[in-house]
Amino acid sequence: MKRSELRAAQARALEYFDKAGIVLTDEEKERIEVADFGLGELEKQGLEILTYVNTERCCAKELVLFPNQACPEHLHPPVDGDPGKEETFRCRWGTVYLYVDGPPSESISVDPPSEYCRVRHEIILRPGDQYTLAPGTRHWFKAGPEGAVVSEFSTRSRDEADIFTDPNIRRMPEIEED
């Protein structure tokens, strides 16, 4: 991803934080991570992330999804004797379609972003709704047509250890100068 694309996505994410009524400091605005997962299709598969805190015991983040943008299927595996990340998603603004391990829903509301998104147990999150994922649960999620803002509360986050179903994904962003 080019630095100019990163800056444009950060500025756009700020618009969504404003819609959700989430106030950020100037320092936080500069730290918004833009993850394109190395796929070069940010509008389709991507995520904008602000991490407030990530300690040995807990983590708190805000996630922005642009309209119809998806976070690809992945899971949080055990690491160094820890069972893996347990996380709670709480929708703050918009609609989020969350898909997790479990009995497949009869039909799902959105198209998966790729052939690698295989779990089909659907949970729909609207403002005020939340859902907690156990460690090791395969999941992917996608915003509705208006986009979404989600607060994530979890045990320690080790994003670099996430296991994605799509072997082409690189979780940590690579930024190129323009």
pLDDT in tens, 123-147: 999 999 999 999 999 999 999 999 9
- pLDDT band at residue 117 under the 50/70/90 scheme: very high
Second CATH level (architecture) for the domain 3-164: Sandwich (2.60)
| Cβ 74 vs Cβ 137: under 8 Å | no
Question: How buried is residue 53: exposed, middle or buried, by Cβ count under 10 Å (0-12/13-18/19+)?
Answer: exposed
Q: Is the pLDDT of residue 87 over 90?
A: yes
> What is the per-residue pLDDT for 178?
79
- pLDDT band at residue 174 under the 50/70/90 scheme: confident
**Contacts for 25 with CB less than 8 Å, ≥ 6 apart:** none
Region 103-109: mean pLDDT is: 97
- pTM reported for the whole predicted model: 0.95
Q: Is the pLDDT of residue 15 over 80?
A: yes
d(CA 27, CA 163): 30
Domain boundaries, the chain: 3-164
Cα end-to-end span (Å), the chain: 9
